[in-house]
Amino acid sequence: MNVKKGNQRLRKRFGDRVRVREEEDRIVVSGRLDSWEDIVEACSMCVCKKGNKHVVNDIVLEGRDPKPMRLPAERDSALEGERPDVLIIGGGISGASIARELTKWKLSVLLVEKEADLAVQASGRNDGEVHPGVDLKKGSLKQHYVLLGNRMYDRVCRELDVPFKRCGQYVGFRGWWNYPLVRLYAWNKKYVCGVKDTQVIGRKRLREKEPQMNPDFQFALYNESAGCVCPYGLTIAYGENAAANGAKISLNTAVLSMEVQDGRIRSVLTNRGRVWPRIVVNAAGTFAEDIAAMAQDRFYSIHPRRGTNSILDKQAAYLTGAIVSFKTVKKEQGHTKGGGILHTVDDNLLVGPNAVETYEKEDFSTEQASIDAVFQKQIQTVGKLSQRDIITYFTGVRAATFEEDFIIEKGRRTKNLIHCAGIQSPGLTTAPAVALYVEQLVVEELGQEREVEKNPRFNPIRKGIPRLRELPKEVRDRLIRENPDYGVIVCRCEEISKGEILDALHSLVPVATVDGIKKRLRPGMGRCQGGFCMPLVAKIISEEEHISLSEVRKAQKGSVITYGRTK
C-alpha cells in the first residue's frame, strides 16, 4: 500500500493520533482513539485491495476496557499430554465441519470448544440462510466459496440428516425506472459472477409467489437456490458425525496459551491440560485474532459486529414462505442489507439482523432499539409484520476482518497452523466447501512429514434423532411401540417426546443441560418459551444423569436453575 498517502488521510481525519505502517506480511494501524467507531473507520481507511496484506488493528481504545474472553469454569487435566494429529480450536460451523471432513483420513482429531456446547456463538446466533451469493463481489473468497457451498447443501444435509429447504430469495424493488439497472445487475450476476439462478421477476409472479409482500414492489430479484437450515442443528450434526468417525470433541475447553518454537506450535495449554498437536486449525470465530497472536502469527484483525434477530410465532409464518427483503437502488450505508424476513425450516419467521460495530466480542445482550430499527425497515417488505408476534430474540456477533473477507490459509510465520478466520455471513453457506479446502491444506501439510492414509471406515451418514411429529402416523406408531418414551410428549408447543430427549442425552456429543436439549430438539423454543416443559426437561436430565435437580444447569457451569430442596 501507499503508506505515505494512508498516513495523510489518517492525519486529515484523526490528527496525529493514528499512524499506519507496512510490514512484511501485514498493515499495522496504531495509535490511540477514544471511540470504537473511529477505530473501525481508521482501520477500514487503511484496507488495501491489491496484494494480500491485511489490516492489523493496534489502536488503543482509550478509557474503555474490553472484557477478557469468557473462560469455562472447569479446571482439570482431562486432555493433559494428548498428542492429536490435528487440534481444531472452535466448535462453530467451521470447526465442526472441518473436523468431520478430516475424519475421512487416518488422523486423530481433537476439537476444543470453550463453551458448554457446539454452536454457542456466531454459528448458533444467525438466521440460517443458505445464501445464493447474489450480493457478493467477484474475486472475494466469500463469493468463491458461497457458490461451491450452496451447491453442496442438498448432499450434506441429506448425509447428516438435517432439514434443509431451498425456499428461494426475493428482493423487492420499487419504481419501474430502476428496472433496466437491476436487469443489468442480474445479468452480471448470472453470467459474470456465476450466480446462475439469478432472475428478475415481474410484479405478477411476485404476487403469486409471495402475496404478502409489499404491493408497491414492481419487480424482484429472485434466486431459487437460496435456502434455510437450522445453523446450530447443522453444526451439531457435523460434530456428531465427526465424533462417530473418531474425532474427539472436548467442550468447556479453552485455549489459554501456546508454546511456539522455530515457527512451529509445540504445545497448546488449555484449562484441561496441555496438548501437543502436529497441526492446529484456528476456527475460533471472533477470537481467531487472539489465537493467531498466541501462535505468533497475527496478520489480521477482527472487528466484531453485532446483529439482532427476532423470532416470530408460527402464526405469523404465512407472511412469507421464502427469504424476502427489499432494496433501493441508491447505495446503502453499512455492511448488511438491513436484514430480511426468513421462513425457517421449523416454520417460524426470523426478522433481522441489523449491524452494529462493537469492541465486545461476547456481548450477546439485546436492545429494543435494534428490534425497532429492523421492524421499521422490514415492515416495508411485508406490511403485516408485527412485533406482537415476537416470541423471542437473540444477538449474534460476527467476526469481520477489515477487508470484509475470509482468511483461509496456512500460517504466514507459523508453519503448523491453518487459519479459518474472518468467517462471517455467508459463513454457514460456505462452510461445507471451506471444510474441504482446509482438509486439503491439513493433509498436504501433514503429508510432508509422513503419508496420510484414508480412513476406510469413514461413514458420511449420520442418523439424527427421529422427529416423531413429522413422521407419518403408522411410522410414529411403530416407533412408539418399540420405545414407549417416544409417546410421552414433554414439550407441548413443539411436540417433543421424552424418548427424543433421552436420545439427545445419549447422542455422540451429548450436552446434558436445558439449553443443550433445547438446541437439539427445540423444547422451549415454542410459544410458551419453556414455561411448561422446562421443569420436566430438568427432571429428565436429573434422573438420567443421576444428579439432583439443583445440579441441572441451563447452560454453562454456574447457570443453575434451582437452589435445592425447599425443605
Binding site for other proteins (CB under 8 A): 70, 364-368, 371, 387, 390-394, 468-469, 473-474, 476-478, 480-481, 484-485, 487-489, 492-493, 495, 497, 527-532, 534-535, 539, 549-550, 553-567
Give the SS3 label for residue 483: coil
Distance of alpha carbon 40 from alpha carbon 37, whole angstroms: 5
- Smaller CB distance to other proteins: residue 144 or 520? 520
Residue the block writes with cell 425443605: 567
Nearest by Cα to 332 from 159, 537, 213, 171: 171
Burial level of 73, CB count in 10 A (0-12/13-18/19+)?
exposed
Alpha carbon distance 459, 297 (integer Å): 35
Choosing from 54, 131, 144, 419, which is the catalytic residue? 131
In 3D, which of 245, 287, 265 has the Cα closest to residue 420?
287
The three grid cell numbers given for residue 86, joined into one nine-digit string: 490435528
Strand order in the sheet with 26-33: 18-22, 26-33, 54-61
d(CA 256, CA 169): 42
Closest distance to other proteins from the beta carbon of 67 (Å)? 10
Q: How far apart are CA 416 and CA 292, in angstroms?
A: 12
Q: Among residues 185 and 364, whose Cβ is nearest to other proteins?
A: 364
Nearer to other proteins, 460 or 535 (CB): 535
Other Cβ atoms closer than 10 A to 136: 22
- CA pseudo-torsion sign 77, 92, 391, 317: negative
In sequence order, what are the beta bridge partners of 219? Answer: 173, 202
Tell me the chain's radius of gyration from C-alpha atoms. 24
CB-based contact 306:356 (threshold 8 Å): yes
Of the pair 450, 567, the CB lying nearest other proteins is at 567
Q: CB-wise, 432 or 524, nearer to other proteins?
A: 524
Cα(437)–Cα(441) distance, integer angstroms: 6
Please, what is the minimum distance in Å from the beta carbon of residue 488 to other proteins?
6
Residues 66 and 360: beta-carbon distance below 8 Å: yes
For residue 29, give the nearest of 6, 12, 52 by alpha carbon: 6
| Residue number with CB closer to other proteins (178 or 392) | 392
For residue 110 the three cell numbers come to 481433537
- Identify which of residues 282 and 513 has a Cβ nearer to other proteins in the complex: 513
Among this protein's residues, is 335 annotated catalytic? Answer: no
Of the candidates 395, 400, 104, the residue with the CA atom closest to the CA atom of residue 242: 104
**Residue labelled with grid coordinates 465424533:** 243
Helix (H, G, I), strand (E, B) or coil at 174: coil
Distances (CA, A) of 435 to 39, 105, 139, 260, 302: 32, 14, 19, 25, 21
- Cell numbers given for 203: 410484479
Tell me if 110 sits within 8 A of 88, measured CB to CB: yes
Distance in angstroms (rounded) separating the CA atoms of residues 476 and 469: 8
CA distance 492 to 528: 9
- SS3 state at 313: coil
Name the residue nearer to other proteins (CB basis): 419 or 498: 498
Q: Please give the single-letter amino acid code of residue 390.
A: I
Measured in Å, how far apart are the chain's first and last C-alpha atoms? 71
C-alpha to C-alpha distance for 253 and 110, rounded to whole angstroms:
11
List the grid coordinates of 408.
483461509
Q: State which residue, 457 or 473, has the beta carbon closest to other proteins.
A: 473
Minimal distance in Å, beta carbon 567 to other proteins?
A: 5
Q: Which is nearer to other proteins, 216 or 470 (CB)?
A: 470
What residues are labeled active site? Answer: 131
